[in-house]
């Protein structure tokens, strides 16, 4: 990794692991510890926010340069040529998480038992930055997490369908971001850095129903860019046939502020309005919502019951 990039990320409270991985404490992990407020994934899917390890195996590599991305994008990699060992990557990620948490041990707001649990993460959010499907040993990494009794949530932009098609094992939950209703908006808003990005995303949606894991399509909504087009989004969602759909607002934070304005961030009411129209198109129900995160969960009641039974 470029040394200047490493130094900049560490100033932003990332901890670099291996040659291309990184860990950073999630905002909601800190909220859970200090205020008892969980993230929407805990409310929707039953994970424990304070025990979630937010990491990426590809902090400096991505296939898109999305205008709404709040992470640093000053890198050029679209491949990982010398991948870190997956066991070492997970070990080092847990160690990094514990170091980042160390200051909370003496915080009077933090319940001691919850703090001790936080030091033993049982859930890995494979997202944070970059495109994780570029990590060639992703399946081995997920398998190592599974061996340790950890659940895994993988977030992808869908531009590497061949990876998802051959991924073994699959994560506990697979997110695919669909942030454009058509190719024109895709090219302007998500700015693919590889050839045939839109075609590759559609291929991912085509294979999604065949993947034996819980699947989510996330619509990241940006005011003035990609809200509306409910019929077009519904057609894409039907192609992917996910277990759930998550319309979620873009948030005006981080590096996205150099490309977006405050007005590009939809209100929760706006997300609700979009969600209601999409649910009607899809024949789905609004199952849950989390106003602080400006996110709505769409699906059917029977699949929601499966979450409650499994606990994750």
The encoded tokens of residue 121 equal 């993460």
Which pLDDT band, with edges at 50, 70 and 90, does 234 fall under?
A: very high
Give the contacts of 211 (CB within 8 A, at least 6 positions apart).
164, 170, 174
- pLDDT at residue 197 is higher than 80: yes
- Whether 304 contacts 39, CB under 8 Å: no
The DSSP secondary-structure symbol of 109 reads T
Q: What is the pTM of this model?
A: 0.95
User: Per residue in 37-66, pLDDT tens?
Assistant: 999 999 999 999 999 999 999 999 999 999
Query: Residue 78 has what pLDDT?
Result: 87
In the sheet that holds 52-56, the strands lie side by side as 15-17, 21-23, 52-56, 123-126, 151-156, 173-177, 214-221, 244-249, 295-299, 285-290
SS3 101: helix
User: Per residue in 274-300, pLDDT tens?
Assistant: 999 999 999 999 999 999 999 999 999
296 bridge partner residues: 289
Domain of 87, in residue numbers: 3-310
- Rounded CA-CA distance 80/62 in Å is 10
* CATH number for 133: 3.20.20.70
Q: How far apart are the first and last CA of the chain?
A: 35
Q: Average pLDDT in the 96-112 region?
A: 95
Q: Into how many domains does the chain fold?
A: 1
Nearest to 169 by CA among 101, 106, 86: 86
- pLDDT at residue 73 is higher than 90: no
């Amino acid at each position: 990794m470029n040394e200047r990039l490493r130094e900049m990320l560490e100033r932003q409270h990332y901890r670099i692991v291996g040659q291309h991985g990184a860990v950073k404490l999630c905002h909601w992990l800190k909220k859970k510890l200090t205020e008892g407020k969980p993230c929407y994934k805990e409310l929707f899917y039953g994970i424990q926010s304070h025990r979630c390890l937010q990491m990426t195996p590809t902090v400096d590599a991505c296939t898109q340069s999305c205008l709404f991305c709040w992470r640093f994008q000053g890198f050029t990699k679209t491949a990982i040529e010398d991948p870190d060992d997956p066991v070492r990557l997970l070990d080092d990620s847990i160690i990094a998480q514990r170091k980042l948490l160390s200051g909370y041990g003496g915080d009077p707001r933090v319940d001691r038992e919850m703090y001790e649990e936080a030091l033993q993460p049982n859930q890995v959010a494979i997202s944070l930055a970059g495109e994780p499907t570029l990590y060639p040993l992703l399946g081995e990494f997920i398998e190592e997490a599974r061996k340790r009794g950890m659940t895994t949530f993988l977030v992808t932009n869908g531009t590497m369908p061949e990876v998802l098609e051959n991924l073994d094992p699959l994560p506990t939950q697979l997110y695919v971001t669909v942030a454009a209703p058509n190719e024109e908006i895709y090219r302007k808003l998500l700015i693919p850095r590889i050839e045939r990005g839109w075609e590759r995303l559609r291929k991912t949606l085509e294979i999604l129903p065949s993947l034996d894991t819980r699947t989510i399509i996330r619509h990241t909504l940006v005011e003035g860019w990609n809200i509306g087009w409910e019929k077009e989004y519904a057609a894409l969602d039907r192609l992917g046939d996910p277990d759930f759909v998550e319309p979620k607002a873009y948030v005006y934070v981080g590096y996205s502020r150099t490309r977006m304005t405050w007005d590009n961030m939809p209100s929760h009411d706006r997300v609700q309005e979009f969600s209601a129209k999409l649910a009607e198109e899809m024949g789905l129900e609004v199952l849950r919502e989390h106003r602080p995160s400006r996110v709505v969960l769409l699906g059917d009641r029977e699949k929601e019951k499966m979450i409650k039974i499994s606990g994750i």
